[in-house]
Amino acid sequence: MNKRFFLKTSAALAAAAAFGGVHAQTALKFQLDWRFEGPAALFLQPAAKGYFKAAGLDVTIDSGNGSGGTVTRVASGTYDLGFADMAALMEFHANNPDAPNKPVAVMMVYNNTPAAVLALKKSGITKPADLSGKKLGAPVFDAGRKGFPIFQKANNVSNVAWTSMDPPLRETMLVRGDIDAITGFSFTSLLNLEARGVKAEDVVILPYADYGVKLYGNAIIASPKLIKENPAAIKAFLTAFAKGAKEVMANPAGTIGTVKDRDGIINVALETRRLQLAVDSVVASPDARREGFGQINPGRLSLMASQVSDAYGTKTRVDPRAIWDGSMLPAAADLNVLPPAKK
């Protein structure tokens, strides 16, 4: 064995040990919640920089088509891990009480739901109360629409009529005046409206988190099989992810190339803005700073479980204890990843 080979091998083993001591190259399949857009850089950066590999993981990252699909695919065993909305995870648990493999959230990433109501200023809508008696639009599976009863109750909104459409038509119908307001992820719908010729200053955004709705957003979820058989692999994944996410949040423009590498036709400037909006509004939010990146507040999770049970009309009540397992989170120092608060 030559000296160079020995040193390289030793360095690789040391790196693996630092990430949680996983044996060489454990294969993991990971699915995002959506397409390769700005926020996907949080996951693509640690892959591109070799952090997963250094942790002894061979990680495959695929795009998704909605949180519901991601939850289902992790439940079926098609994927080991995924990125999905906590409400969609809760809904799956409560509507499939006998499912043998219900995924579990292992790290919070979007500490607040990105769901918001958006309207054009010319509509006269400036606050939640103005939505009473109005026509709202969103796809039937939209997280904001499904959670709207919680927003509605918190803000005494009444008599709302819904119009359903496919996702690409949502913002188009708002611009055309077919509907008065839409629900959607704030950082997605705002940029979609701009792409349709609307100026940012002409858009009213009512984020759920700012109006009494403290729902959690997207979390990293894992299959019960992986949790049982290889919790060290999950911890290694989360530690490598946190390292890459810290770099992304410190320099969105410098890391957006990881998304471009996966989808060559993205608009880099637009996706950089989308990433920055996501970081500012839901990843490094005031609630995330209070609770700590990756963590949850048990009382807040219990309240959300109750609210989702009511708003989604689930078959059984959501059990918050079955949804979350924080035992594989990295050490506190590794979770210290949020950028300095903006003044």
The answer to whether 170 and 178 are in contact (CB under 8 A) is no
**How far, in Å, CA of 284 to CA of 188, rounded?**
17
Give pLDDT tens digits for 229-255: 999 999 999 999 999 999 999 999 999
- For residue 342, the model assigns a pLDDT of 82
Distances (CA, A) of 105 to 82, 125, 335: 9, 36, 16
The answer, yes or no, to whether residue 10 has pLDDT greater than 60, is no
Task: Look at residues 42, 32, 41 and name the one whose alpha carbon lies nearest to residue 238.
Answer: 42
**How far, in Å, CA of 104 to CA of 86, rounded?**
10
Give pLDDT tens digits for 64-120: 998 999 999 999 999 999 999 999 999 999 999 999 999 999 999 999 999 999 999
CATH T-level fold of 115-210: D-Maltodextrin-Binding Protein; domain 2 (3.40.190)
Structure tokens at 184: 């959607």
Inter-axis angle of helices 41-48 and 231-250, nearest 10 = 110
Task: Look at residues 139, 146, 144 and name the one whose alpha carbon lies nearest to residue 92.
Answer: 146
The answer, yes or no, to whether residue 39 has pLDDT greater than 50, is yes
Structure tokens at 159: 């008599």
CATH T-level fold of 26-111+216-335: D-Maltodextrin-Binding Protein; domain 2 (3.40.190)
**Residues in Cβ contact with 329 at an 8 Å cutoff, skipping those fewer than 6 apart:** 106, 107, 235, 238, 294, 295, 335
Average pLDDT of the residues in 52-58: 98
DSSP H stretches of helix in 96-230: 143-146, 148-155, 170-176, 186-195, 224-229
- For residue 7, the model assigns a pLDDT of 42
- For residue 23, the model assigns a pLDDT of 52
- For residue 247, the model assigns a pLDDT of 98
Task: Look at residues 79, 8, 67 and name the one whose alpha carbon lies nearest to residue 35.
Answer: 67
Give pLDDT tens digits for 153-207: 999 999 999 999 999 999 999 999 999 999 999 999 999 999 999 999 999 999 9
Q: Please name the amino acid found at residue 305.
A: A
Percent of the chain with pLDDT over 90: 90
Query: For the residues of 295-338, what is the DSSP string, one character each?
Result: ---HHHHHHHHHHHHHHHT-SS---HHHHB--TTPPPGGGG--P
The answer to whether 202 and 107 are in contact (CB under 8 A) is no
Average pLDDT of the residues in 30-37: 96
Distances (CA, A) of 144 to 26, 173, 214: 36, 17, 13
Q: Please name the amino acid found at residue 113.
A: T
309 Cα distance to chain centroid: 20
Looking from the CA of 150 toward its CB, the CA atoms found within 13 Å total 30
Residue 269 exposed, middle or buried by CB count within 10 Å (0-12, 13-18, 19+): exposed
**How far, in Å, CA of 187 to CA of 200, rounded?**
11
Q: Do domains 26-111+216-335 and 115-210 have the same CATH topology?
A: yes
**How far, in Å, CA of 220 to CA of 265, rounded?**
27
User: SS3 for 77-121, per residue?
Assistant: CCCCEEEEEHHHHHHHHHHCCCCCCCCEEEEECCCCCCEEEEEEH
Structure tokens at 273: 């803005």
* Residues facing residue 182 across a β-bridge: 118, 137
**Residues in Cβ contact with 64 at an 8 Å cutoff, skipping those fewer than 6 apart:** 31, 32, 33, 34, 35, 70, 82, 83
Looking from the CA of 297 toward its CB, the CA atoms found within 13 Å total 15
Q: What is the mean pLDDT of the chain?
A: 93
Record the pTM. 0.90
Task: Give residue limits of the domains in the chain.
Answer: 26-111+216-335, 115-210
